[in-house]
Amino acid sequence: MKLADVESHMQKTIDSTQKSFNTIRTGRASTSLLDRISVEYYGAPTPLKSLATINTPDASTLTIQPFDRSSLGLIEKAINQSDIGIMPSNDGSVIRLNIPPLTSDRRKEFVKIASKAAEEGRVAIRNIRREAIDSVRKQEKSSEIPEDEARDLQDKIQKLTDKYIARIDELLAEKEKDITTV
Q: With contact defined as beta carbons under 8 Å apart, do 65 and 55 qualify?
A: yes
pLDDT tens digits along 125-137: 999 999 999 999 9
Whether pTM exceeds 0.75: no
The whole-number pLDDT of residue 70 equals: 87
For the chain, the residue count is 182
Express as a percent the part of the chain with pLDDT over 90: 48
Domain spans in the chain, listed from the N-terminal domain onward:
3-22+103-180, 31-98
Q: Which CATH class is domain 3-22+103-180?
A: mainly alpha
Q: Which comes out higher in pLDDT, residue 26 or 35?
A: 35
pLDDT tens-place string over residues 91-139: 888 999 888 777 888 888 889 989 999 999 999 999 999 999 999 999 9
CATH class of the 31-98 domain in this structure: alpha beta
Burial pattern 44-63, b for ≥16 Cβ within 10 A else e, equals eebebeebbebebeeeeebb
Q: Identify the burial level of 66 via C-beta atoms within 10 angstroms of its C-beta, where 0-12 means exposed, 13-18 middle and 19 or more buried.
A: buried
Q: What is the pLDDT of residues 136-152, one digit of tens each?
A: 999 999 989 999 999 99
31: Cβ contacts below 8 Å, ≥ 6 apart: 54, 55, 56, 62
Q: Closest Cα to residue 53, out of 61, 68, 65, 41?
A: 65
For residues 62 and 99, give the distance between their C-alpha atoms in angstroms, rounded to a whole number: 8
